[in-house]
Amino acid sequence: MLTVTVWDKGMVNAVEKAIRDSDLGLNPQSAGTTIRVPLPALNEERRRDLVKVVHKLAEEGRIAVRHARTEARDRLKHLEHISEDDVKHAEKDLQKAHDEAMKRIEDLLKGKEAEIMEV
């Protein structure tokens, strides 16, 4: 059982709705400023659902890294008073940082997936 105490009484419904819409399959119950969230037992099906959520979050992270790389490339191309060689070196460094971030996301994903599936 997870208990959430909301300090602002006007936000109880919003917090309850956010928990319900979180894609985690939770069904919160509010009583005044306290929201009780019964956590289901982690059976095989529930673990697979949580792994799907983790994969979705990892994909969102990958997309964010790709967007950051694209934006940085665009900014590099629009720089003035910088040589073409410096731009090429900066692009290589940018690609290296991108690859490291993607590898880190993949490593975190594998670790979290193994942690969730562990009985």
In three state form, how does the secondary structure of 58-94 look?
A: HHHHHHHHHHHHHHHHHHHHCCCCCCHHHHHHHHHHH
Whether residue 99 is predicted with pLDDT greater than 80 in this model: the reply is yes
Which has the closest alpha carbon to 11: 38, 36, 33? 33
pLDDT digits (tens, 9 = 90+) for 25-80: 888 988 888 999 998 888 888 899 889 999 999 999 999 999 999 999 999 989 88
Mean pLDDT of 81-92: 92
Domain boundaries, the chain: 2-37, 44-117
Q: Over the chain, what is the mean pLDDT?
A: 92
Under 8 Å between Cβ of 72 and 43: no
End-to-end CA distance of the chain: 20
**What's the CATH code, domain 44-117?**
1.10.132.20
What is the pTM for the complete model shown? 0.72
Banded model confidence at residue 100, pLDDT cuts 50, 70, 90: very high
Under 8 Å between Cβ of 34 and 19: no
pLDDT digits (tens, 9 = 90+) for 45-60: 889 988 999 999 999 9
